[in-house]
Amino acid sequence: MILRAILLMILGMALLAMTDMFIKLSSARIPVGQVMLMLSIGGTLVFLVVARLKRAAIFHPSALTPLVLVRNAMEMVGGLGMVLGVALVPLSLVAVIMQATPLVVTIGAALILKEPVGWRRWAAIIVGVFGMLLVVRPGFDGFVPASLFVVMGVVGLAMRDLVTRMMPPEISSVSLSTWGFAATIPVGAALLLIRGDAPMADGMAALQVAGAVVVTTSGYYAVTAAMRLAPASIVAPFRYTRLVFTMGVGILVFGDRPDTLTLTGAAIIIATGLYSFIRERKLARKALIEARITSQMH
């Protein structure tokens, strides 16, 4: 069961790396706002079909609760940042910056959800942020201004994940996914208007966006299945395989050549992220043992 969960997580990361590839390919042919609009509509339709098959309620009063609205807003911010980042920034750079997501989630959990984070994990977070600065390099030679879109995407998606933790159990995952995709539809339309781009008819781009819809939704389900088959502490570290897949696509398909600072920053981010996972797992085991001892005493 655990091996199956790990393989599903790795498969999910490979599929999501393919999403990045399709977005980058299609945005070279048609406006990026059109890519986002088509991807959002396609993803929404797929999840509507899935919801119908699962008989999950979509048009429900819970869709207008503050938590869901905040989650949708973070989906809009994260989706906009990631689509623009993937379209404008080398994929190898996007891949590295995205690995900082678990660190941002930990920061948010401590500051917003008031979850306990000890000095060791704070130290790991600080080192991880330093690693991300090595990659982004704001104010220095090699700085790619558009990389800030990826940082925006990472923050938005991390906040979305935090809010998801607070969702009541009666709201299904497929409903949340449908609302999240639907929320990004007006963002794509607004991006088209703001940039003044006219929609273009391009058969190859349409096929590429369709490919992005298929691999995105499939990757989402692979990750969801992995998280349900095994504890998060076991499968979550395998999210870092996305770095290998996305960077590989960047090198093989787009001719990216990550420099030494980028690779060093990637190593630092992954090392600190893995340390945080290991530390959380140890603390969870300690809390479980203490709870068992307390229950036996009573």
Predicted pLDDT of residue 231: 66
Which of 206, 229, 248, 224 is closest to 96 using CA atoms? 248
* pLDDT one-digit tens code per residue, 28-61: 999 999 999 999 999 999 988 988 888 877 777 7
CA 126 from chain center: how many Å? Answer: 21
What is the C-alpha radius of gyration for the chain, rounded to an integer number of angstroms?
20
Taking CA atoms, 60 is separated from 49, 170, 175, in Å, by 16, 11, 9
Tokens read off for 262: 């980028």
DSSP string, 262-287: HHHHHHHHHHHHHHHHHHHHHHHHHH
Integer CA distances (angstroms), 59 to 17, 62, 238, in order: 31, 8, 35
How far, in whole angstroms, is CA 211 from its chain's centroid?
18
Task: Specify the higher pLDDT residue, 65 or 204.
Answer: 204
pLDDT in tens, 81-118: 999 999 998 888 888 888 888 788 778 878 887 777 77
